[in-house]
Amino acid sequence: MAQLNDAFLQELKFKTDIEDVISTYVSLKKRGSTSIGLCPFHNEKTPSFTVYNDTQSFYCFGCGAGGDAVTFIKKIENLDYLDAVKLLAQRAGIQMPQEGFDDSLSKKRRRILEVNRESARFFYSNLISDNGKIGRDYFLNRGLSMHTIKRFGLGYAPDSWDALLKHLKSKGFGIGDMLDAGVIKISKNNRYYDTFKNRVMTPIIDVRGNVIAFGGRVLDDSKPKYVNTAETLVYKKTNELFALNLAKDSGQDSLILCEGYMDVIAMHQAGFTNAVAGCGTALTNEQVRLISRYAKEVVLAYDNDEAGQKALNKAITLFRQTDVKVKIPAFSGGKDPDEIIRKYGRDKFKGMLDGASNEIEFALLDLKKKFNLNTTQGKIDFLNGAIKILCNVSPIEQDLYLSRLSSELNVEKSSIKIQLEDYSRRNKKRRENKIYKSIIDDSMRQNQRISYENNVPVRQYKAEERIIGLLLNYPDCFKLCSGVDADKLSSQFIKKVYIEIISRLEKQLDIDIISFGPILTDTEMSRLSRIMANNSESKNAKKEFADCIDIINYEFSLKNSKTSANLSDDEYRKMFESK
Ligand SMILES: [Zn+2]
């Protein structure tokens, strides 16, 4: 783990305002000395993400993410500790210390990115060379222009087991770096070989312009059709969106989400420069959050087949947990955007995008397919279903759809409305009960889990957390610390934080959350910020502190009084068996 010197961290602290840092990613609303906003780390519609100005920390009451400015940057930019510190230092205009810390992980990441960049160059220059004609023809046959090929940095991996390997060697890269980047592999009899062979290549580039991975496709029908870079230090496929680096600069506040790289490339060429795609996985929560950072609206341009429609429904469900508006175009005449654009051209495709339905319209259309609206029973069943869809939308929208349904089905608007209101009333009650129950379950589960994990009573656990919370807010309590011995603390995490606090106080150093960054993991940082968020004030800190110490001492003595004198026969026997 990186060890940065304290003076540097303190300077970083003085020149960094956590609210400032976070507000470039999250829109925050002031609320006294804290600010709140929608959490960027989980999907939510009501804000539970809180930034504490006093302690320069953040904590989300929804998902438990928390920490200081460094933790925030680490998480949101997907960086390691040192790179996150560097980014903040740059922002604050402070020089990083030259020595005294271990940055091997950052160096490794950088080398992987260099290997990737050089590999992308190699694939591209192959594609435009004589040897790459077969790859070039593949793309040209699919309707791509040379301009598009260059813009996406597409390439060709030659039909050879070691062409890239030799090339990278000649550029001075080591085998270890190539393995780390995933561009070569090692065989059973210990020979190194290129991961991509005789394939057309699509580099995956992150929003900072780094080549982080590759997707390789065969030129014929052989298997496997696609080979993609496995996960590496710089690439986690569930967190990335293909072409977001280009789409984020499209100047629009909507993104078009497609299924495949080729769809995205075809769409960009046709002028839809806000198209992106997942990287060969079903849509994930992380990708949904990424989209919500860049767009207010997403057009779900999924394939026109069964698998595509299934994926579409999953996507709609995921986006429902965010405030991103969803639009669903109805594609006809081709199985995916790439094919439709090639067959009918840009304008027809644009017409389909413009005519996209919103989530409600889509759900109603989908429902309609299931009933025969020429029969009375069909109409009744459809209306009952429609009411369930409409009960969650705003009154204005309800009114609009009711008018539409009324004229479409030739049923009085007022009677549909009465039924809708009746359903909404019953549904509200049901929902409230459900929410109430889940809150109670959650808090019970959390309490039980905590005490179970550590095998200590809840009150001891709470006392230990309270001690940390009090020390951070009222360092005066330190004078009482002779009263508690760190070894009596049941949790390793608390012990570690406690010892650090005491040693800092003894050296008369500040204790703030940024000083814990170098010694705690992300999960521990979250826990620490939760403790800070829940333990901010006390009417009589010293008295409370002393009480907590009593509890800890008492529980400790209780546990250790289990000596041979008061052990049960069984326990007594076990003591010998285990030795
Ligand atoms: Zn959260």
* Residue 282 CB contacts under 8 Å (≥ 6 apart), including other chains: 311, 314
**Spacing of C-alpha 60 from chain mean position:** 14
Q: From the CA of 301, how far away is ligand 1's center (Å)?
A: 28
**Of 154, 184, 158, nearest to 261 (Cα)?**
154
Query: pLDDT tens track of the chain, all 579 residues?
Result: 446 777 888 888 888 999 999 998 899 998 888 899 999 988 888 888 999 988 889 999 888 899 999 999 998 888 888 889 988 998 888 888 776 666 777 788 889 999 999 999 999 999 999 999 999 999 999 999 999 999 999 999 999 999 999 999 999 999 999 999 999 999 998 899 999 999 999 999 998 899 999 999 999 888 899 999 999 988 988 889 999 999 999 989 999 999 989 999 999 999 999 999 998 778 998 899 889 888 999 999 999 888 898 999 999 989 988 889 999 998 888 888 899 999 999 999 999 999 999 989 999 988 998 999 889 999 999 999 999 999 888 889 999 999 999 998 999 999 999 989 888 888 877 777 776 666 556 555 555 555 555 667 788 888 888 889 888 888 878 777 666 788 888 888 889 999 988 888 888 888 888 888 888 888 888 888 888 888 777 888 888 888 888 888 888 888 777 554 555 555 555 555 543
Q: From the CA of 40, how far away is ligand 1's center (Å)?
A: 7
Please write down the HEC assignment for all residues of 259-275: CCHHHHHHHHHCCCCCE
The whole-angstrom separation of Cα 210 and Cα 181 is 13
Q: From the CA of 320, how far away is ligand 1's center (Å)?
A: 16
- Coil, strand, or helix at residue 419? helix
Residue that the structure tokens 């929804």 belong to: 62
Token pair of 40, please? 């960027």
Other CB atoms within 10 A of residue 566 CB = 9
Cα-Cα-Cα-Cα dihedral sign, residues 102, 103, 105, 107: negative
The whole-angstrom separation of Cα 98 and Cα 38 is 38
Buried b (16+ CB within 10 A) or exposed e, 209-236: ebbbbbbbbbeeeeeeeebbbeebbbbe
Q: From the CA of 65, how far away is ligand 1's center (Å)?
A: 6
Residue 199 β-bridge partners = 157, 218
* Residue 498 one-letter amino acid: Y
Q: From the CA of 435, how far away is ligand 1's center (Å)?
A: 18
The whole-angstrom separation of Cα 491 and Cα 68 is 22
Token pair of 469, please? 């919370």
**Of 260, 254, 287, nearest to 272 (Cα)?**
254
Q: pLDDT value at position 435?
A: 64
Q: Residue 110: phi, psi to the nearest 5?
A: -60, -40
Q: From the CA of 253, how far away is ligand 1's center (Å)?
A: 23
The whole-angstrom separation of Cα 450 and Cα 455 is 8
Task: Return the DSSP state at 235.
Answer: B
* Residue 126 CB contacts under 8 Å (≥ 6 apart), including other chains: 132, 135, 155, 156, 157, 158, 163
Q: pLDDT value at position 67?
A: 93
The whole-angstrom separation of Cα 255 and Cα 176 is 38
pTM: 0.71
Q: From the CA of 59, how far away is ligand 1's center (Å)?
A: 8
Token pair of 326, please? 């969803």
> What are 260-277's pLDDT values in tens digits?
899 999 999 999 999 999
Do the Cβ atoms of 219 and 198 come closer than 8 Å? yes
Q: What angle do CA 438, 440, 445 make, to 5 degrees?
A: 90
* Ion ligand 1 residues within 5 Å by Cβ: 39, 41-42, 60, 62-63
* Residue 101 one-letter amino acid: F
Q: From the CA of 42, how far away is ligand 1's center (Å)?
A: 5
Q: From the CA of 60, how far away is ligand 1's center (Å)?
A: 5
Angle between helices 376-390 and 413-454 (to 10 degrees): 50
Q: From the CA of 61, how far away is ligand 1's center (Å)?
A: 7
Do the Cβ atoms of 556 and 540 come closer than 8 Å? no
